[in-house]
Every structure is written in structure tokens, then in C-alpha cells.
Amino acid sequence: MTPHDQYPHDPRRSSGAGGPYPENPGGPGLGVELRQGALVALAVTVAGVALGLLWLWLAPRMPLVSDGKAVFIKNSEGEEAIGADGTFVLLAAGLGVLTGAVVFWFFRRGGIAIVVGTAVGALLASVVAWRMGVWLGPAQDVAAHARAVGKGKTFDAPLQLRAKGALLAWPIAATAVHLALTGVFGPRDPEPPVHV
């Protein structure tokens, strides 16, 4: 009787890995996973352009008026100032949900590098969107803008993000959705073989 006949179900012989289980069954290697995480971070960061344009388009404007000496808020009881922040948070959270779902769809077997890449990319995307909206929005030099439009004329205040915590809406939503989908639909660890 050969040694193989004595142990026909020896998992060490069938795996060829010198042990009962492969190191990472069915998953990518560390180098591949790191490259995937970097790719996800880059792709999500680029998506910040979309958020910036949407924020610029949808955020309420705060009207200002000049009397020739000073600049005043035309409607002091308006909520445009907080409306810009709220619009940013809602758009960023929506894109975060979409990002988390798309990343999970393409990288179901991804590990921690994918999650980190998603979170880092979403944070960078939020910063890109914020700076882009400010840059493309109404002029930042309020005094010069007031002089340009003239006395008694209404003009828009610069687009601002007053609550910087809004930058976390996208990464939090994206990470939460990705982890939730992974927990529900992600691959399961293989069951250990039962020896009889």
C-alpha cells in the first residue's frame, strides 16, 4: 500500500500549498489588491468633478447688494448660506451610495485596500468638488464684484462651504454602503474540511 493510498483525503496533498488551506483562496494577491485600491481611489477622485458641477448648478445663491459704500445681504432672513452646505451634503451622500455600490459590483473579492481606496478617493473627490465649485462660481472678490455691477444692483455672493464636515459625507456613505453590501453579498470563507 502506498502512502497516497493510506491518506487518500489528505488536504495537504490536494492543495499543493504545504498545508490544509491556501493562503488566500479565490482572492487577489497583495500587489493586485493594492493596485486595485489605487485605481479605485483615482477613479473616485475624478468623479469629484461631477459633484463640483452639480453643486455649482443646484446650490442656492445668496443675493448681495451694494449701496456704494458697503455690501449687504439682500435678504437677511434667507437660508441660502446653509442651503449651499446642505446641497453639498445631499449630493455627496447620494454619490457616496452610488460609489459604494459600483465599487462592490466591480471588486466583490477585494479586501481592505479596496475599502481604503474608496474612502480616500471619496474624500479627495469631495475636496476637488468643493474647490471646483468655488473656482467656477461667483467671483470671490466681493468688493470688486460690487463695483463692477454698480450701486443698488443685486449680485450673487461667492459659493462657500461653511461646514467643512460636509467633506466627509461622500467617504462615509461610500464606505458604509460598500461594507454593508460586502457583508450581505460578499464571498464567504470556505468551510474547513471534515475528517472522518
Instruction: For residues 171-190, give the mean pLDDT.
Output: 85
Long-range pairs, 140-144, Cβ under 8 A, ≥24 = 142/64, 142/71, 143/71
**Any residues with CB less than 8 A from the CB of 152 and at least 6 apart, and which?**
65, 66, 67, 68
Q: What residues contact residue 13 under an 8 Å CB cut-off, 6+ apart?
A: 4, 7
| Cα–Cα distance, 174 to 125 (Å, whole number) | 12
- At residue 52, the pLDDT reads 96
Return the number of other C-beta atoms located less than 10 Å from residue 71's C-beta. 17
pLDDT band at 194 (very low <50, low <70, confident <90, very high): low
Strands, E assignment, the chain? 63-66, 71-73, 154-156
CA Rg value for the chain: 27
Q: Is 60 exposed, middle or buried (0-12, 13-18, 19+ CB in 10 A)?
A: middle
Q: Residue 110 in contact with residue 36, Cβ under 8 Å?
A: yes
Contact 129, 169 (CB under 8 A): no
Tens of pLDDT, residue by residue over 60-103, are 888 888 776 777 676 765 566 688 999 999 999 999 999 999 99
Domain ranges for the chain, please list them: 27-61+76-139+154-184
Give the cell for residue 193: 474540511
Grid coordinates 451694494 are at which residue? 66
Higher-scoring residue by pLDDT: 109, 181? 181
- What is the 3-state composition of the chain as percent helix, strand, coil, each rounded to the nearest 5? 60, 5, 35
* The pLDDT of residue 40: 94
Predicted model pTM: 0.74
Confidence of residue 168 (pLDDT cuts 50, 70, 90): very high
**Can you give the pLDDT at residue 82?**
82
Cβ of 127: how many Cβ atoms within 10 Å? 16
The pLDDT tens digits for 22-61 are 444 445 577 888 899 999 999 999 999 999 999 999 998 8
